[in-house]
Amino acid sequence: MRSIILLNFITIVYASDIPVIKEVEAIMDPAAFSAVRFVMSAIPFLPFVFRSRDDVQTRNAGMELGFWISLGYLLEALGLLTSDAGRASFISLFTVIVVPLLDGMLGAIIPTRTWFGVLMSALGVAMLECSGSPPNVGDLLNFLSAIFFGIHMLRTEHISRSTKKENFLAILGYELSKFCT
C-alpha cells in the first residue's frame, strides 16, 4: 500500500512540473529559475561527487547524462515561452514513444505489445496536438525536448547496467552539476 501511495505522489509531482514552470516563467527569468532549481538539487550530491572525483568512468557517465537532460530541460523551458502548458504536457508524453523507438533502432527486440502501445500513444498525442490552436515553435521545442529526455532515459539504463551501485549517487551529482553549468 505504501508503494502505491508513493507512486501516486510522485505522479502528481511529475504532472505538476510543466504547469509550475509555465507559471514561474511569467514572473521570473527561465534561465535564473532553472539555475536555482538545479543548483539546489545538486547540493546534497556534492559529497558523492567529491568522493568519486578520480573515477573517470563515473564522471564521464554523469556528464553525458547531464548533457542529455540539460538539452531536454532547456528546450522545455524555451518551448513553454510560446506553448500552452497543457499542450506541452501532452507533447512531453512523446518521451514514452521515443524510448522504445530508439531502443529498437539500436537493435533491441521490442515486444509487439510495446509497439501497439507506441502506436496508441502516437495517435493520442497526434489527436491532442492537432486540436485547438495551431502548432507553434514552442510545440516543436517541446517535441525535441521529449526526444532528448528519451535519449537520457535510454542512456541512463545502459550506463546503470555497467555501474556499481555505490557510484549511482555520484553519477546523479555529476549529472545535476553538469546541468548547472
> Per-residue confidence of the chain (181 residues) as pLDDT tens digits?
788 888 778 777 776 777 888 888 888 887 788 788 888 888 999 999 999 988 999 999 999 999 999 899 889 888 888 888 778 877 887 887 888 888 888 888 888 888 888 788 778 777 766 666 778 899 899 999 999 999 999 999 999 999 888 899 999 899 888 655 5
Q: Write out the three cell numbers for 4.
A: 502505491
Q: What is the pLDDT of residue 2?
A: 82
Rounded-to-integer distance, Cα 21 and Cα 38, Å: 13
Q: What is the dihedral of CA 119, 120, 126, 127, to 10 degrees?
A: 150
What does the pLDDT read at residue 181? 55
The full length of the chain comes to 181
* DSSP H helices in the chain: 2-27, 30-42, 46-51, 56-79, 85-92, 94-105, 112-129, 137-161, 168-180
Phi, psi (degrees; rounded to nearest 5) at 105: -65, -25
**What confidence score (pLDDT) does residue 63 get?**
92
- Say how far apart CA 36 and CA 68 lie, in whole Å: 19
pLDDT score recorded for residue 111: 87
Q: For 83, left (φ over 0), alpha (ψ -120 to 50), or beta? A: beta
